[in-house]
Amino acid sequence: MKRGANILIKRKMGMTRRSFLMELGRRKGFRVESELSDSVTHIVAENNSYLEVLDWLKGQAVGDSSRFELLDISWFTACMEAGRPVDSEMKYRLVEQCQSPPLSTPELEMPAFIATKVSQYSCQRKTTLDNYNKKFTDAFEVMAENYEFKENEIFCLEFLRAASLLKSLPFSVTRMKDIQGLPCMGDQVRDIIEEIIEEGESSRVKEVLNDERYKAFKQFTSVFGVGVKTSEKWYRMGLRTVEEVKADKTLKLSKMQKAGFLYYEDLVSCVSKAEADAVSLIVKNTVCSFLPDALVTITGGFRRGKNIGHDIDFLITNPGPREDDELLHKVIDLWKKQGLLLYCDIIESTFVKEQLPSRKVDAMDHFQKCFAILKLYQPRVDNSTCNTSKKLGMAEVKDWKAIRVDLVITPFEQYAYALLGWTGSRQFGRDLRRYAAHERKMILDNHALYDRRKRIFLKSGSEEEIFAHLGLDYVQPWERNA
């Protein structure tokens, strides 16, 4: 059967019976929605004919009704008995027979939707930027970050998986029954959900937000080049704020950290979609001046449809026969000459063809890459204003912004795997690798997909082919915001 959401029409079913069936579905681990969406594929009715349901659909302003399977309530009860979706055989389907009296649309109220079981893997869910449970997911992300600062991976992942799942729900959780049967809902998670439902906020999350260590680590890790280990070191030295770190002349900072402090205000501010597009133009023009056939793709959050981010990632490959091992160095040298480069750190490739993929979920890839900071010039202000400023002895207005840019060079054969990995989201990638290992006995990373049973590498020329190898429905980039 097709996977998707299913709707229970209220008319002739009655409110009490419909409520009972909805709660039964939840207890069995099925998802309940409250409004019509593009994910609906099955419509369930009780004592309604095929034509009555069609008439109801017209009342809902549905243009094409052929995309739905129209089913009798017996299909739904069969699913409840089996504890899983059953095939929509002919005996369950509503079929056109004779004309029935038209259904009066005003008698209908908002229907409920019963969806197939929710997967524990975000790669089997579609997660857009429409988050109906932000108050919960924001709380979980604070908890996850706190555990990450404490290097407690187990609890960190528990909250990240719970946040990922709630982001995928097409409805707002308003009571504890709404999460019955859902995976990734551990005791800690449930306690926070219950408190937010009852009190409007979580005392545990509030406690973390006010915790001195958490606040210090939050500040330290906002600096480019600073991770948990360095934050721990600074905290033990008695430092608590970015200003205190800047003032401490005894600290030995790395080149990356020095750049992070030098351009701190710019780098902690959000990068807009317009700024990302402007940088994209610079990157593409520069790369193609050396390699005209090169394919330059923006990845990360902007490829997933986000309007803001903190940096911009680009994947570069060449589909033609010609490759240029010095391409990245040429690009960087040109930006230096143009006065656009504020910082760069090039990591040379250690990629070896047909090397077994890494089993580590968060392993970095072996491609040549550059972590850079570029100077993006802003639109010029009116000249008369500038002249007035100079006459008054005011500080010159900065007409550029420092932007974090990552460039990754990949061989064309590995492009699809690198594109999938660098698009994210981080949790989507984690679950994709976990699914490959646990459900398919395969190893996936940014370089390749290896079938452990057959002992072969599976070639893929596109993301769609990778999903097909894994036996998964393809998930569009903008549906990977897990």
> Which residue in 299, 300, 278, 296 sits closest to 287, CA to CA?
296
Burial 356-389 (b: 16+ CB within 10 A, else e): ebbeebeeebbbbbbbbbbbbeeeeeeeeeeeee
Active site residue 445: no
Tokens (6 digits) for 283: 């990157």
Q: How far apart are CA 155 and CA 145, in angstroms?
A: 10
Which entry of 72, 178, 266, 313 is annotated as an active-site residue?
A: 313
**CA–CA gap between residue 40 and residue 34 (Å, rounded):** 12
Query: Is 191 an annotated catalytic residue?
Result: no
Quickly tell me which residue has 């990995």 as its tokens.
Answer: 421
d(CA 382, CA 391): 15
DSSP string, 245-283: HHH-TT----HHHHHHHHTHHHHHSPEEHHHHHHHHHHH
What are the binding residues for Mg(2+)?
311, 313, 406
Question: What is the C-alpha to C-alpha distance for residues 296 and 298, in angstroms, rounded to an integer?
Answer: 7
What letter represents residue 164's amino acid? Answer: S
CA 223 to each of CA 236, 244, 380: distance values in angstroms, whole numbers, following the listed order = 18, 13, 28
Active site residue 130: no
The active-site residue, picked from 72, 266, 311, 445, is 311
Q: Strand ranges (DSSP E) for 34-73?
A: 40-45, 69-72
Three-class SS of residue 432? helix
Report which secondary-structure segment, H or E, holds 376.
strand 368-377
Annotated binding site: 311, 313, 406
With 0-12 / 13-18 / 19 or more C-beta atoms within 10 angstroms meaning exposed / middle / buried, residue 339 is: exposed
Catalytic residues: 311, 313, 406
